[in-house]
Amino acid sequence: MSLTAELFRVAAILEQAQIAFLVTKGPALAARAYGDVVARQYRDFDLLIGHVHIFRAVKLLTGAGYASNTPLEAVRSGRVPGEYIFQKPDSDLMFELHTERSFRYFPRPLPIEDFFMHRTTVFVDGRSVPALALEDEFVLISIHGAKHFWERLMWISDVAALVYRHPEIDWVRVRRTAADVGAERMVRVALLLAERLLGVPVPAEMKREVGADSACLPIVKKIGSWLPYAGQEPPQLVQRAFFRLRMRGNLLDGARYLTRLSLSPTEEDWSADPEAPGTSLRESLQRPFRLAKKYGRSPKGHSFKEPD
């Protein structure tokens, strides 16, 4: 309830400034997937805005008392974090702003104009809020799950619930949106996970496509082997890299995707002096070494064996 109230407050600030936004995941996804915002846990809410508005939005929200994890000067200089995180002081309430540039795990740039053109509304506690079209939301949560190796069963449940509760989903549009952003296999894997783990059949309109992609089933089995250790023993670096390669479809696209993710600095890679000569190149080259240090250690006690 506190998060929902905060969502309405942030929405009012952006509306007053005439900054268009769309709600995604969080309470909007809970309402869509389960019919009630309290039927699903979420610890924050997410808003999508155009990157052209991000500096003004950060300035407005920090002026309204929210603490930003991304300094205003970093935003002014054009640095793009993985997400723009805000926290209400003296509380645990958090929310995130996203733009077409911060969604790094989209294989291709998010088509922000299309997403806003096809926007709809979702009722949250009796109030309508602007939201992604159902089909665009489905693609987004498929990419989000792939980004995090589907380590939470809740994310698979979201996919299953959307398929089960919304037979009106336009799967032609889902395929088109997925193709636009290079997430075709990510969507297929999401659907197969919902079927194999939660018993919600792949929609008839997608069954042939999912069945024809021979890589989907081995990927789903591998994800199933990781689920029991979710959040405690993340996949090692080589496993992570191989997963990224396979999720893009063919080898060439996978290599491009993996290279971009491996060399695109996030806030964890940022230098203290962004104005120093060669900073961007240095940050890009240092990133793979940081990732190797973070994920290169052997798991303790778990071997990630394939399920029987």
Reported pTM: 0.89
Asked if 97 contacts 49 with a C-beta cutoff of 8 angstroms, the reply is: yes
Shared-domain flag, residues 142 and 113: no
Please tell me the total count of domains within the chain.
Answer: 2
Shared-domain flag, residues 118 and 149: no
- Give the pLDDT of residue 135: 97
Q: Per residue of the chain (308 residues), what is the pLDDT tens digit?
A: 788 889 999 999 999 999 999 999 999 999 999 998 888 888 889 999 999 999 999 999 999 999 999 999 999 988 899 899 999 988 888 999 999 999 999 999 999 999 999 999 999 888 999 999 999 999 999 999 999 999 999 999 999 999 999 999 999 999 999 999 999 999 999 999 999 999 999 999 999 999 999 999 999 999 999 998 876 777 888 999 999 999 998 889 999 999 988 888 888 888 766 665 567 788 888 888 887 887 765 444 443 333 33
Give the strands of the sheet with 67-68, arranged side by side: 67-68, 84-87, 94-98, 44-48, 22-24, 127-131, 120-124
Shared-domain flag, residues 115 and 187: no
Q: What are 189's two structure tokens?
A: 């894997």
Strands 22-24 and 44-48: antiparallel
Shared-domain flag, residues 213 and 196: yes
Residue at a domain's end among 101, 132, 163: 132
Shared-domain flag, residues 196 and 253: yes
For helices 26-34 and 134-147, angle between their N-to-C axes, nearest 10 degrees: 110
Strands 127-131 and 67-68: unpaired
- Give the pLDDT of residue 159: 98
Segments forming the whole domain that contains residue 195: 135-270+279-308
Shared-domain flag, residues 159 and 254: yes
- Give the pLDDT of residue 41: 84
Shared-domain flag, residues 111 and 146: no
Residue at a domain's end among 132, 151, 169: 132
Shared-domain flag, residues 189 and 63: no
Shared-domain flag, residues 230 and 98: no
Shared-domain flag, residues 148 and 286: yes
Residues near 146 by Cβ (< 8 Å), separated by ≥ 6? 105, 183, 186, 189, 190, 247
Residue at a domain's end among 132, 153, 184: 132
37: number of Cβ within 10 Å:
22
Shared-domain flag, residues 115 and 213: no
Asked if 42 contacts 32 with a C-beta cutoff of 8 angstroms, the reply is: no
Shared-domain flag, residues 151 and 254: yes
Which CATH number does the domain housing residue 42 bear? Answer: 3.30.460.40
- Give the pLDDT of residue 302: 40
